[in-house]
Structure 1
Amino acid sequence: MIGPGIVVAATGVGAGDLVATLIAGSKFGYTLLWAAVVGCIVKIALAEATGRWHLATGRTIFDGWRSLGPWTTVYFAVYVVLWGFVYGATAMSSSALPLQALFPDVLGLKWWAILTGLVGLLFVWTNRYAIVEKIMMVFVGVMFVVVVYVAVRVAPDLPDAFAGLLPVLPSGSIVYTLGLVGGVGGTITMAAYGYWINAKGWTDSGWMRMMRLDNRVAYVTTGVFVVAMLIIGAELLHASHTALASGDKGLLDLDEVLEQRFGRFTSTLFLVGFFAASFSSLVGVWHGVSLMFSDFVERLRAARAGTADGGVSEVARGDAERSWPFRGYLLWLTFPPMALLFLDQPFGLVIAYGVLGAFFMPFLALTLLWMLNSTRTPREWRNGWLSNTLLALSALLFLVLCVQELRDLPW
């Protein structure tokens, strides 16, 4: 009965998030466990607000953004094109790393990356949401079982783990704390949640309770997953003072540690989970952000025709996955980024991508606050005090993360 929440959560949790969580555990043990829990609450609030907008108003989130002024259209247009170009290469490389480690003599990293991109393209091109949802459920199952299994193998110290639920900020931990709260499962795919619930067939407020159940199950599952990764970092890396490489390659370092400690079976199983986490993000983005782009194009065309607020979206009608904007963006995510696999990312592109990406989550949180407290939303479905508090805290958190990310860019 549920599904879209699992899809959005699995898409948002990529290899980079796993490394960030592992590093937090390796540096501070269980001390920041509370931050992972807070992060899940933040994501539940954001996804619930996105889903509530779609179901309460019958309009897509891009419809809502357009109602706030043309600046949102300009920002989204630039962001979605540039983000897709850089993210495509990142997702393919991330999915290729565990495959190269599992099959080192078959293909080189770049060719594995190209293969994963082509497989993702073919899968999303030829299937509709119902099949995408089922394969994502499989990926989540693999990720969950593998990571929880490894966490149990490292024998967690339960008293220390429970002590980590008390909010404490050790010296030098602020960046890692913010990253844990804001990073895991938080990307443009948070905004795609509304499109996935429409694709599921949930199109009006009668589905509100189901959407909320779906959302909570998904992020509680993600929370267990994140806690398990933190346990692995705390028990396996913190005690031995083992450092991981930054970025996705840090998971290959963990693979070596697992092989030394538990043998080849456990390390191979972990690489399978690493692939499931990476490739699920690729498939989710290929599908979800292409749905968003399709709606973006459809609404612009409707505005030019003078029918901007008329009609049900293609996503709700089930037509979007066969539309040319959907498939055009699929091709954009797949083929142009392959050039980046053979080049160092151009300096200017890295800066622009970093700037636009840093602003997206604050943009999402603040615009949801705006739309769900206005007459754009039916009165009974507007924000209450809890939603407003959580969205305001989310906006503040993501603004701080935005400033931090901008400071860390190689200006």
Structure 2
Amino acid sequence: MLGGFKKILKSLGPGMIITASFIGPGTVTTMTQGGAGFGYSLLWAVVFSIIATIVLQEMIIRLSLVTREGLGEAIQELFAHKIGKFIIVWFTLIAVTIGCAAYISGDLIGTSLGASYLLQLPEHLVAPVIGVIILLIGLFGNYRFLEKIMLVLMVIMGLIFIITMIVIQPDVIGILQGVFVPTIPNGSILTVIALIGTTVVPYNFFIHSTAVHERFKDLTDLKFARWDTIISITIGGVISAAILISAATLIKGEEVTSVIQLAGPLKPVFGDFAPIIISIGLFAAGLSSAIASPTGAAATISSLLGWKGGMRSKKYKAVFVVIIIIGIITSALGFEPLQVLLIAQALNGIILPLVAILILIIINKKKLMGKYANTWQLNIISFIVVLVVTFLGLYSLIDAVKNIFAA
């Protein structure tokens, strides 16, 4: 029993990369805004997003271990018609790459918020330096090194945000109501979509399939790969919920511009260390997400184009470098054009439901998956998840298109 538990702990890795990826500045800010704006009432959305992520990523695990291929290769093989294959593959590739390139500047700026507070330096100077550090990680690091970095960042985030939640003694009854009694308060629908959308991320499907190949050898490791996903993503959910709960307890009703606002109400507990503690947590969240953006682009392109070698491939590293250089330049210039971000949001609104539907179709192919295809019970759960994700994506698309024309 103890030996099995130790092996499960040693198996943690790919799931932690996914978790560290989705807990970035966007997630931290969205959770803070959700708690400050609507109290504990939207905790059910956090719980749903975690269940949805586990369901979708578990299908990726099975697909990767059964086929020994990535998601991109499986998508290519799904289409017999060359034109259909070309359209789906290249649309997915372009959409994910543009999204990663558009968001990398924000990721670096978000990372620099914490570091600039600690170092007392301007964000536009700190962000490019962080970008160069990530560039070096991409050039000279490997999967094991990336895994260790993400694990360390997860531990830092977990300690800071979960301990903060415990110390402030939130309303336990209010938390339970928020989790088990779903409500959508007036004006909260976009926040609900954002809470789910910051957790269920399209490029994480491709990162996970690549990471599974790097870490697990075959189907004998399926049990441990599943535990890795369940434990890692659940920890991520607890961290996300802790941020929302802390905001709901400390700054409900305030307009949120930065997670650093949590530091003020925490001063009676942590004293002058309060802003430092929050800044370190924000830095860890930003760094993990900033590493994930170029990793996501590289993993997606490599998988869809069938490049071999995984994270060791020169082509993989080249894509990583291009994306992070875009981030270094744009963050140094403070360049974050609204139109590009809105286009990225619109593309994400299309690509998220599209990839989720393709995963569900592929995982049900008996000829490909054999006994590891979805059971009818899993299909019911998966269908509900994909349905909600599709609604989420379409709503996000419509909102982005409206804003594009309004801008």
Q: TM-score, normalised by structure 1?
A: 0.87
Residues of 1 paired with 2:169 and 2:131: CA distance? 37
Q: Aligned pair 1:328/2:318, yes or no?
A: yes
Change in Cα spacing, 1:346 to 1:176, as seen in structure 2 (3 Å) is closer
Q: Aligned pair 1:284/2:295, yes or no?
A: no
Deviation at 1:6, TM superposition (A): 0.8
1:216 pairs, out of 222, 230, 251, with 230
Number of the residue aligned with 2:59: 49
Q: Which amino acid aligns with 1:244?
A: V
Change in Cα spacing, 1:260 to 1:110, as seen in structure 2 (3 Å) is farther
Number of the residue aligned with 1:253: 261
Residues 90-129 of structure 1 deviation map (CA, whole Å, 9 limit, x = unaligned):
221111111111111xx32112111111101101211111
Contact 2:63/2:369, CA 8 A, preserved across alignment: no
Q: Aligned pair 1:193/2:201, yes or no?
A: no
Residues of 2 paired with 1:296 and 1:407: CA distance? 27
1:92 pairs, out of 108, 131, 136, with 108
2:346 pairs, out of 330, 355, 358, with 355
Q: Which amino acid aligns with 2:102?
A: V
Deviation at 1:257, TM superposition (A): 4.3
1:146 pairs, out of 160, 163, 168, with 160
Matches within 5 A, 1:276-315: 276-299=284-307, 314=308
Number of the residue aligned with 1:400: 391
| Mean Cα deviation higher: 172-181 or 8-17 | 172-181
Structure 1 or 2: more helix by fraction: 2
Deviation at 1:151, TM superposition (A): 0.7
Residues of 1 paired with 2:142 and 2:261: CA distance? 37
2:368 pairs, out of 368, 374, 377, with 377
Aligned residues: 384
SS at match of 1:188: helix
Number of the residue aligned with 2:7: none
Matches within 5 A, 1:27-46: 27-46=37-56
Q: Aligned pair 1:59/2:80, yes or no?
A: no
Residues of 2 paired with 1:170 and 1:82: CA distance? 32
Residues 218-270 of structure 1 deviation map (CA, whole Å, 9 limit, x = unaligned):
111112112211210211012xx22202xxxx213333443477422122111
Residues of 2 paired with 1:112 and 1:285: CA distance? 18
Residues of 2 paired with 1:132 and 1:337: CA distance? 19
Residues of 1 paired with 2:302 and 2:371: CA distance? 30
Number of the residue aligned with 1:13: 23
Change in Cα spacing, 1:216 to 1:190, as seen in structure 2 (3 Å) is same
Percent pairwise identity: 22
Residues of 2 paired with 1:227 and 1:91: CA distance? 21
Q: Aligned pair 1:162/2:176, yes or no?
A: yes
1:120 pairs, out of 116, 134, 147, with 134
Q: Which amino acid aligns with 1:242?
A: E
Residues of 2 paired with 1:281 and 1:345: CA distance? 17
Q: Which amino acid aligns with 2:293?
A: V
Change in Cα spacing, 1:181 to 1:348, as seen in structure 2 (3 Å) is closer
Residues 311-357 of structure 1 deviation map (CA, whole Å, 9 limit, x = unaligned):
xxx3xxxx333322112112211213334332544454334322212
Number of the residue aligned with 1:337: 327
Residues 159-187 of structure 1 deviation map (CA, whole Å, 9 limit, x = unaligned):
22222222231432333333333433534
Stretches of structure 1 that go unaligned for 5 or more consecutive residues are 300-313
Deviation at 1:280, TM superposition (A): 1.1
Residues of 2 paired with 1:64 and 1:224: CA distance? 32
Residues of 2 paired with 1:264 and 1:111: CA distance? 25
Q: Aligned pair 1:176/2:191, yes or no?
A: yes
Q: TM-score, normalised by structure 2?
A: 0.88
Residues of 2 paired with 1:74 and 1:212: CA distance? 30
| Mean Cα deviation higher: 374-383 or 59-68 | 374-383
Change in Cα spacing, 1:166 to 1:128, as seen in structure 2 (3 Å) is same
| Mean Cα deviation higher: 280-289 or 144-153 | 280-289
| Mean Cα deviation higher: 288-297 or 25-34 | 288-297
| Mean Cα deviation higher: 223-232 or 337-346 | 337-346
Residues of 1 paired with 2:96 and 2:314: CA distance? 16
Residues of 2 paired with 1:15 and 1:337: CA distance? 15
Contact 1:192/1:288, CA 8 A, preserved across alignment: yes
Deviation at 1:11, TM superposition (A): 0.8
Residues of 2 paired with 1:84 and 1:179: CA distance? 17
2:246 pairs, out of 232, 236, 251, with 232
Residues 131-177 of structure 1 deviation map (CA, whole Å, 9 limit, x = unaligned):
11111111000000000111122211112222222223143233333
